[in-house]
Amino acid sequence: MNTESTPALLVLEDGSVWRGRGFGDTTTKTGEVVFCTAMTGYEEALTDPSYQGQILVLTATQIGNTGITTEDGESAHPQVAGFVVREATPLVSNCRAKTELPTWLAQSGIPAMEGLDTRALVRRLRESGAMRGAISNDPAQTPESLLAAARAAPDMSGANLAESAGPEAPHRPSEDLGGWWDGARDMPKDRVRAKDHPYRVVALDCGAKRTIYKHLVDRGCEVHALPANSSPSEIRALEPEGLFVSNGPGDPAAVDQAIDTLREVAGEVPTFGICLGHQLLSLALGAQTTKMKFGHRGANQPVHAAGRDRIEITSQNHGFCVEAASLEAAGCSITHRHVNDGTVAGFRHDSQPIFAVQYHPEASPGPHDSAYLFDDFVAQMADVRG
Protein backbone atom coordinates (compact mmCIF):
# COMPACT_ATOMS: atom_id res chain seq x y z
CA MET A 1 0.00 0.00 0.00
CA ASN A 2 1.79 3.11 1.24
CA THR A 3 5.51 2.54 1.72
CA GLU A 4 5.52 5.45 4.22
CA SER A 5 3.06 3.71 6.53
CA THR A 6 4.08 3.47 10.14
CA PRO A 7 5.36 0.14 11.47
CA ALA A 8 2.68 -2.06 13.00
CA LEU A 9 2.76 -4.95 15.44
CA LEU A 10 0.51 -7.92 16.14
CA VAL A 11 1.43 -9.94 19.22
CA LEU A 12 -0.30 -13.19 20.13
CA GLU A 13 -0.70 -14.48 23.65
CA ASP A 14 1.81 -17.25 22.91
CA GLY A 15 4.49 -14.55 22.62
CA SER A 16 4.86 -14.61 18.83
CA VAL A 17 5.43 -11.18 17.28
CA TRP A 18 4.26 -10.27 13.77
CA ARG A 19 5.56 -7.10 12.15
CA GLY A 20 4.09 -5.20 9.24
CA ARG A 21 2.97 -1.82 7.97
CA GLY A 22 0.10 -0.04 9.61
CA PHE A 23 -2.98 1.54 8.10
CA GLY A 24 -6.38 2.48 9.43
CA ASP A 25 -6.43 3.92 12.94
CA THR A 26 -3.42 4.29 15.24
CA THR A 27 -5.12 2.96 18.35
CA THR A 28 -4.20 -0.26 20.13
CA LYS A 29 -6.84 -2.99 20.25
CA THR A 30 -7.07 -6.48 21.69
CA GLY A 31 -9.25 -9.41 20.68
CA GLU A 32 -9.36 -13.03 19.66
CA VAL A 33 -7.26 -13.48 16.51
CA VAL A 34 -9.13 -15.53 13.89
CA PHE A 35 -8.84 -16.14 10.15
CA CYS A 36 -11.34 -16.18 7.29
CA THR A 37 -10.77 -18.03 4.00
CA ALA A 38 -13.26 -16.07 1.86
CA MET A 39 -11.76 -14.75 -1.37
CA THR A 40 -14.23 -11.86 -1.66
CA GLY A 41 -16.58 -9.86 0.54
CA TYR A 42 -14.20 -8.10 2.92
CA GLU A 43 -16.70 -5.26 3.48
CA GLU A 44 -19.42 -7.71 4.49
CA ALA A 45 -16.99 -9.57 6.76
CA LEU A 46 -15.71 -6.43 8.45
CA THR A 47 -19.26 -5.28 9.23
CA ASP A 48 -20.56 -8.68 10.38
CA PRO A 49 -21.51 -8.30 14.07
CA SER A 50 -20.42 -11.91 14.62
CA TYR A 51 -16.81 -10.65 14.39
CA GLN A 52 -17.23 -8.33 17.37
CA GLY A 53 -14.30 -8.71 19.78
CA GLN A 54 -12.03 -10.34 17.17
CA ILE A 55 -8.97 -9.39 15.15
CA LEU A 56 -9.68 -10.67 11.66
CA VAL A 57 -6.99 -12.13 9.40
CA LEU A 58 -7.90 -12.70 5.74
CA THR A 59 -6.15 -15.43 3.76
CA ALA A 60 -6.83 -13.76 0.38
CA THR A 61 -3.60 -12.05 -0.66
CA GLN A 62 -4.84 -8.65 -1.88
CA ILE A 63 -7.61 -6.70 -0.18
CA GLY A 64 -9.18 -3.32 -0.85
CA ASN A 65 -9.45 -3.14 -4.63
CA THR A 66 -13.25 -2.72 -4.60
CA GLY A 67 -13.13 -0.01 -1.93
CA ILE A 68 -16.05 0.51 0.45
CA THR A 69 -19.58 0.96 -0.88
CA THR A 70 -21.30 1.33 2.55
CA GLU A 71 -24.52 -0.15 1.09
CA ASP A 72 -22.95 -3.63 1.03
CA GLY A 73 -22.21 -3.57 4.75
CA GLU A 74 -23.96 -5.99 7.09
CA SER A 75 -24.18 -3.30 9.78
CA ALA A 76 -23.60 0.44 9.98
CA HIS A 77 -19.89 0.27 10.81
CA PRO A 78 -16.94 -2.13 11.14
CA GLN A 79 -17.39 -4.65 13.95
CA VAL A 80 -13.89 -6.15 14.13
CA ALA A 81 -11.35 -5.12 16.75
CA GLY A 82 -8.53 -5.15 14.19
CA PHE A 83 -7.74 -6.20 10.63
CA VAL A 84 -4.74 -8.04 9.14
CA VAL A 85 -4.01 -8.67 5.43
CA ARG A 86 -1.08 -9.63 3.23
CA GLU A 87 -1.42 -6.60 0.96
CA ALA A 88 -3.81 -3.64 1.08
CA THR A 89 -4.06 -2.39 -2.49
CA PRO A 90 -3.79 1.40 -3.05
CA LEU A 91 -6.08 1.24 -6.12
CA VAL A 92 -9.88 1.20 -6.02
CA SER A 93 -11.60 -0.08 -9.14
CA ASN A 94 -15.33 -0.03 -8.44
CA CYS A 95 -17.86 2.53 -9.72
CA ARG A 96 -19.99 1.91 -6.61
CA ALA A 97 -17.22 2.67 -4.10
CA LYS A 98 -17.81 5.59 -1.75
CA THR A 99 -14.40 5.58 -0.09
CA GLU A 100 -11.17 3.60 0.31
CA LEU A 101 -10.65 0.82 2.85
CA PRO A 102 -7.83 2.57 4.82
CA THR A 103 -9.80 5.81 5.12
CA TRP A 104 -12.93 3.98 6.24
CA LEU A 105 -11.05 1.98 8.88
CA ALA A 106 -9.30 5.12 10.16
CA GLN A 107 -12.62 6.96 10.47
CA SER A 108 -14.06 3.97 12.31
CA GLY A 109 -11.19 3.65 14.81
CA ILE A 110 -10.00 0.25 13.56
CA PRO A 111 -6.25 -0.47 13.48
CA ALA A 112 -5.04 -2.58 10.55
CA MET A 113 -1.78 -3.91 9.19
CA GLU A 114 -0.35 -5.36 6.01
CA GLY A 115 3.01 -6.68 4.81
CA LEU A 116 3.31 -9.68 7.13
CA ASP A 117 3.33 -13.35 6.20
CA THR A 118 -0.36 -14.12 6.68
CA ARG A 119 0.17 -17.69 5.45
CA ALA A 120 2.53 -18.32 8.39
CA LEU A 121 0.17 -16.53 10.79
CA VAL A 122 -2.79 -18.67 9.72
CA ARG A 123 -0.68 -21.80 10.05
CA ARG A 124 0.12 -20.76 13.64
CA LEU A 125 -3.58 -20.28 14.39
CA ARG A 126 -4.50 -23.62 12.83
CA GLU A 127 -1.86 -25.48 14.82
CA SER A 128 -2.30 -23.71 18.16
CA GLY A 129 -5.89 -22.51 17.85
CA ALA A 130 -7.42 -19.06 17.93
CA MET A 131 -5.60 -16.90 20.46
CA ARG A 132 -5.96 -13.55 22.11
CA GLY A 133 -3.82 -10.89 20.54
CA ALA A 134 -3.05 -7.16 20.48
CA ILE A 135 -2.62 -5.04 17.36
CA SER A 136 -1.21 -1.53 17.19
CA ASN A 137 0.13 1.08 14.77
CA ASP A 138 1.27 3.22 17.71
CA PRO A 139 5.08 3.57 17.64
CA ALA A 140 5.08 3.92 21.42
CA GLN A 141 3.92 0.32 21.80
CA THR A 142 6.48 -2.47 22.17
CA PRO A 143 6.22 -6.24 21.76
CA GLU A 144 6.37 -6.52 25.55
CA SER A 145 3.55 -4.05 26.16
CA LEU A 146 1.35 -5.67 23.52
CA LEU A 147 2.01 -9.14 24.90
CA ALA A 148 0.86 -7.95 28.32
CA ALA A 149 -2.25 -6.44 26.74
CA ALA A 150 -3.02 -9.63 24.82
CA ARG A 151 -2.74 -11.80 27.91
CA ALA A 152 -4.93 -9.39 29.89
CA ALA A 153 -7.67 -9.37 27.25
CA PRO A 154 -10.90 -11.19 28.07
CA ASP A 155 -11.23 -14.72 26.72
CA MET A 156 -13.98 -15.47 24.20
CA SER A 157 -15.16 -18.40 26.32
CA GLY A 158 -17.73 -17.06 28.74
CA ALA A 159 -18.17 -13.79 26.84
CA ASN A 160 -21.77 -12.61 26.42
CA LEU A 161 -21.43 -10.31 23.41
CA ALA A 162 -24.85 -10.91 21.89
CA GLU A 163 -26.63 -8.35 24.04
CA SER A 164 -24.19 -5.57 23.07
CA ALA A 165 -24.04 -6.59 19.40
CA GLY A 166 -27.82 -6.55 19.02
CA PRO A 167 -30.12 -3.52 19.17
CA GLU A 168 -30.89 -1.68 22.39
CA ALA A 169 -34.53 -1.24 21.40
CA PRO A 170 -37.02 -2.98 19.10
CA HIS A 171 -36.85 -2.06 15.42
CA ARG A 172 -38.59 -2.95 12.17
CA PRO A 173 -36.29 -4.03 9.29
CA SER A 174 -38.13 -3.26 6.06
CA GLU A 175 -35.54 -3.42 3.27
CA ASP A 176 -35.86 -6.30 0.81
CA LEU A 177 -33.38 -7.70 -1.70
CA GLY A 178 -34.14 -4.97 -4.18
CA GLY A 179 -34.83 -7.25 -7.12
CA TRP A 180 -31.26 -8.47 -7.64
CA TRP A 181 -32.22 -11.95 -6.46
CA ASP A 182 -34.59 -12.61 -9.38
CA GLY A 183 -31.97 -12.07 -12.05
CA ALA A 184 -29.11 -13.90 -10.37
CA ARG A 185 -28.03 -17.08 -12.09
CA ASP A 186 -27.75 -19.31 -9.02
CA MET A 187 -30.94 -18.26 -7.24
CA PRO A 188 -34.00 -20.52 -6.91
CA LYS A 189 -36.96 -18.96 -8.70
CA ASP A 190 -39.73 -20.83 -6.86
CA ARG A 191 -39.32 -19.35 -3.41
CA VAL A 192 -42.37 -18.96 -1.22
CA ARG A 193 -43.79 -15.47 -0.85
CA ALA A 194 -46.58 -13.97 1.22
CA LYS A 195 -48.59 -11.77 -1.12
CA ASP A 196 -51.40 -9.82 0.50
CA HIS A 197 -51.03 -10.85 4.14
CA PRO A 198 -47.44 -10.70 5.48
CA TYR A 199 -46.24 -13.26 7.98
CA ARG A 200 -45.46 -11.59 11.29
CA VAL A 201 -42.01 -12.73 12.41
CA VAL A 202 -40.38 -11.81 15.71
CA ALA A 203 -36.60 -11.85 15.49
CA LEU A 204 -34.47 -12.24 18.58
CA ASP A 205 -31.63 -9.99 17.37
CA CYS A 206 -28.24 -11.03 18.75
CA GLY A 207 -26.30 -9.06 16.11
CA ALA A 208 -28.14 -9.92 12.91
CA LYS A 209 -26.69 -9.27 9.48
CA ARG A 210 -28.77 -6.93 7.32
CA THR A 211 -29.03 -9.36 4.42
CA ILE A 212 -30.70 -11.99 6.60
CA TYR A 213 -33.55 -9.58 7.27
CA LYS A 214 -33.65 -8.64 3.57
CA HIS A 215 -34.33 -12.29 2.71
CA LEU A 216 -37.18 -12.49 5.21
CA VAL A 217 -38.72 -9.21 4.07
CA ASP A 218 -38.33 -10.21 0.41
CA ARG A 219 -40.42 -13.30 1.11
CA GLY A 220 -43.23 -11.24 2.56
CA CYS A 221 -42.38 -11.27 6.26
CA GLU A 222 -43.24 -8.41 8.58
CA VAL A 223 -40.15 -8.51 10.82
CA HIS A 224 -40.17 -7.20 14.39
CA ALA A 225 -36.60 -7.34 15.73
CA LEU A 226 -36.20 -7.41 19.52
CA PRO A 227 -33.09 -7.15 21.70
CA ALA A 228 -31.43 -10.42 22.70
CA ASN A 229 -32.52 -10.05 26.32
CA SER A 230 -36.23 -9.73 25.51
CA SER A 231 -38.67 -11.68 27.67
CA PRO A 232 -41.20 -14.30 26.58
CA SER A 233 -44.03 -11.87 27.29
CA GLU A 234 -42.50 -9.25 24.98
CA ILE A 235 -42.31 -11.82 22.19
CA ARG A 236 -45.84 -13.13 22.75
CA ALA A 237 -47.26 -9.60 22.89
CA LEU A 238 -46.44 -9.23 19.20
CA GLU A 239 -48.45 -12.37 18.36
CA PRO A 240 -45.87 -13.78 15.95
CA GLU A 241 -46.52 -16.41 13.33
CA GLY A 242 -42.82 -17.24 13.31
CA LEU A 243 -39.81 -16.82 15.59
CA PHE A 244 -36.34 -16.17 14.19
CA VAL A 245 -33.09 -16.27 16.23
CA SER A 246 -30.18 -14.46 14.60
CA ASN A 247 -26.44 -14.81 14.30
CA GLY A 248 -24.17 -12.95 16.71
CA PRO A 249 -20.80 -12.96 18.51
CA GLY A 250 -19.44 -14.54 21.66
CA ASP A 251 -19.99 -17.68 23.70
CA PRO A 252 -23.57 -18.96 23.28
CA ALA A 253 -23.58 -20.57 26.73
CA ALA A 254 -23.10 -17.12 28.29
CA VAL A 255 -26.29 -15.63 26.78
CA ASP A 256 -28.41 -16.73 29.73
CA GLN A 257 -31.47 -14.51 29.22
CA ALA A 258 -31.94 -15.53 25.58
CA ILE A 259 -31.57 -19.21 26.44
CA ASP A 260 -34.17 -18.93 29.21
CA THR A 261 -36.55 -17.10 26.89
CA LEU A 262 -36.14 -19.66 24.10
CA ARG A 263 -36.61 -22.52 26.54
CA GLU A 264 -40.10 -21.14 27.12
CA VAL A 265 -41.20 -19.89 23.67
CA ALA A 266 -39.29 -21.85 21.01
CA GLY A 267 -41.66 -24.09 19.09
CA GLU A 268 -44.84 -22.26 20.06
CA VAL A 269 -44.71 -21.04 16.45
CA PRO A 270 -42.35 -22.13 13.62
CA THR A 271 -38.87 -21.30 14.86
CA PHE A 272 -35.73 -20.80 12.75
CA GLY A 273 -32.18 -20.12 14.00
CA ILE A 274 -28.97 -19.14 12.22
CA CYS A 275 -25.40 -19.44 13.58
CA LEU A 276 -25.54 -18.19 17.20
CA GLY A 277 -29.29 -18.73 16.95
CA HIS A 278 -28.58 -22.39 16.12
CA GLN A 279 -26.49 -22.68 19.27
CA LEU A 280 -28.96 -20.82 21.51
CA LEU A 281 -31.86 -22.99 20.38
CA SER A 282 -29.75 -26.10 20.97
CA LEU A 283 -28.89 -24.98 24.50
CA ALA A 284 -32.52 -24.11 25.22
CA LEU A 285 -33.54 -27.63 24.17
CA GLY A 286 -30.96 -29.19 26.50
CA ALA A 287 -27.95 -29.73 24.22
CA GLN A 288 -24.39 -28.55 24.91
CA THR A 289 -21.92 -26.37 23.03
CA THR A 290 -18.14 -26.42 22.94
CA LYS A 291 -15.43 -24.04 21.73
CA MET A 292 -13.70 -25.08 18.51
CA LYS A 293 -9.96 -24.98 17.99
CA PHE A 294 -10.03 -22.30 15.29
CA GLY A 295 -13.63 -22.29 14.06
CA HIS A 296 -15.18 -22.09 10.60
CA ARG A 297 -14.92 -18.72 8.87
CA GLY A 298 -15.22 -18.30 5.14
CA ALA A 299 -17.53 -18.42 2.13
CA ASN A 300 -16.37 -21.81 0.89
CA GLN A 301 -17.34 -24.22 3.67
CA PRO A 302 -18.82 -27.57 2.47
CA VAL A 303 -21.88 -28.93 4.25
CA HIS A 304 -23.70 -32.22 3.65
CA ALA A 305 -27.47 -31.72 3.65
CA ALA A 306 -28.72 -35.19 4.50
CA GLY A 307 -32.36 -34.57 3.63
CA ARG A 308 -31.45 -33.34 0.17
CA ASP A 309 -28.54 -35.73 -0.24
CA ARG A 310 -26.25 -33.08 -1.61
CA ILE A 311 -23.24 -30.97 -0.71
CA GLU A 312 -23.84 -27.26 -0.24
CA ILE A 313 -21.08 -24.66 -0.23
CA THR A 314 -21.85 -22.28 2.60
CA SER A 315 -20.80 -19.07 4.28
CA GLN A 316 -19.79 -19.56 7.92
CA ASN A 317 -18.48 -17.52 10.83
CA HIS A 318 -18.39 -19.25 14.21
CA GLY A 319 -15.98 -20.43 16.85
CA PHE A 320 -18.37 -22.64 18.87
CA CYS A 321 -20.37 -25.69 17.83
CA VAL A 322 -23.10 -27.94 19.21
CA GLU A 323 -22.19 -31.41 20.46
CA ALA A 324 -24.00 -33.97 18.30
CA ALA A 325 -24.77 -36.56 20.98
CA SER A 326 -26.33 -33.99 23.30
CA LEU A 327 -28.48 -32.65 20.48
CA GLU A 328 -29.82 -36.08 19.58
CA ALA A 329 -30.47 -36.77 23.27
CA ALA A 330 -32.55 -33.58 23.31
CA GLY A 331 -34.95 -35.04 20.75
CA CYS A 332 -33.46 -33.54 17.61
CA SER A 333 -32.27 -34.98 14.30
CA ILE A 334 -29.09 -33.72 12.68
CA THR A 335 -29.91 -32.47 9.19
CA HIS A 336 -26.58 -30.97 8.14
CA ARG A 337 -22.94 -31.77 8.89
CA HIS A 338 -19.74 -29.97 8.03
CA VAL A 339 -17.90 -32.11 5.49
CA ASN A 340 -14.37 -31.27 6.68
CA ASP A 341 -14.70 -32.21 10.35
CA GLY A 342 -18.16 -33.76 10.79
CA THR A 343 -19.40 -31.13 13.23
CA VAL A 344 -23.11 -30.35 13.44
CA ALA A 345 -24.20 -27.79 10.83
CA GLY A 346 -27.97 -28.06 11.24
CA PHE A 347 -30.78 -29.79 13.13
CA ARG A 348 -34.54 -30.19 13.21
CA HIS A 349 -36.58 -31.00 16.32
CA ASP A 350 -38.37 -34.31 16.05
CA SER A 351 -41.73 -33.14 17.42
CA GLN A 352 -41.72 -29.32 17.45
CA PRO A 353 -41.50 -26.84 14.52
CA ILE A 354 -37.93 -25.86 15.32
CA PHE A 355 -34.98 -26.00 12.92
CA ALA A 356 -31.64 -24.22 12.68
CA VAL A 357 -28.32 -24.15 10.84
CA GLN A 358 -24.84 -23.26 12.02
CA TYR A 359 -23.97 -21.32 8.87
CA HIS A 360 -25.32 -18.23 7.05
CA PRO A 361 -27.82 -19.22 4.33
CA GLU A 362 -28.16 -15.61 3.16
CA ALA A 363 -24.52 -16.00 2.09
CA SER A 364 -23.46 -12.40 2.13
CA PRO A 365 -20.91 -12.90 0.77
CA GLY A 366 -20.86 -16.40 -0.65
CA PRO A 367 -22.80 -18.95 -2.69
CA HIS A 368 -26.56 -19.18 -2.40
CA ASP A 369 -26.91 -22.97 -2.16
CA SER A 370 -28.78 -22.80 1.14
CA ALA A 371 -31.20 -19.92 0.58
CA TYR A 372 -34.05 -22.46 0.41
CA LEU A 373 -34.02 -22.48 4.22
CA PHE A 374 -35.81 -19.13 4.25
CA ASP A 375 -38.44 -20.70 1.99
CA ASP A 376 -38.77 -23.63 4.40
CA PHE A 377 -39.40 -21.19 7.24
CA VAL A 378 -42.08 -19.32 5.31
CA ALA A 379 -43.65 -22.61 4.18
CA GLN A 380 -43.97 -23.72 7.82
CA MET A 381 -45.79 -20.50 8.68
CA ALA A 382 -48.02 -20.98 5.63
CA ASP A 383 -48.91 -24.50 6.75
CA VAL A 384 -49.93 -23.26 10.21
CA ARG A 385 -51.95 -20.42 8.76
CA GLY A 386 -53.68 -22.87 6.41
Q: What share of the chain is helix, strand, coil (3-state, %, to 5)?
A: 25, 30, 45
The single-letter code of the amino acid at 15 is G
**Within the chain, which residue ranges are assigned CATH 3.50.30.20?**
7-152
> Rounded distance, CA 55 to CA 134, Å?
8
Q: Phi/psi zone of residue 49: left (φ > 0), alpha (ψ -120 to 50 degrees), beta?
A: alpha
154, containing H or E segment: none
Ramachandran quadrant class, 160 (left: phi over 0; alpha: psi -120 to 50; beta: rest): beta
**Where in the sequence of the chain do the CATH 3.40.50.880 domains occur?**
162-385
CATH of domain 7-152: 3.50.30.20
Tens-digit pLDDT profile for residues 55-96:
999 999 999 999 999 999 999 999 999 999 999 998 899 999
Higher-scoring residue by pLDDT: 340, 3: 340
Strand 82-84, strand 111-114: pairing: parallel
**pLDDT at residue 169, as a whole number:** 97
Supply the mean pLDDT for the chain: 94
Q: Rounded to whole angstroms, how far apart are CA atoms 7 and 96? A: 31
Q: What is the DSSP letter of 253?
A: G
Task: Cite the active site residues.
Answer: 275, 360, 362
* Residues listed for the chain: 386
pLDDT tens digits for range 289-344: 999 999 999 999 999 999 899 999 999 999 999 999 999 999 999 999 999 999 99
Three-class secondary structure of residue 348 per DSSP: strand
Q: In this predicted model, what pLDDT tens digit does every residue of 136-189 receive, in sequence order?
A: 999 999 999 999 999 999 999 999 999 999 999 999 999 999 866 554 545 555
Instruction: Please state the rounded mean pLDDT for residues 342-367.
Output: 96
Does domain 162-385 fall into CATH 3.30.420.40?
no
Q: pLDDT for 203-257, tens place per residue?
A: 999 999 999 999 999 999 999 999 999 999 999 999 999 999 999 999 999 999 9
Q: Are 219 and 193 in contact (CB under 8 A)?
A: yes
Is residue 235 classed as helix, strand or coil in its secondary structure? helix
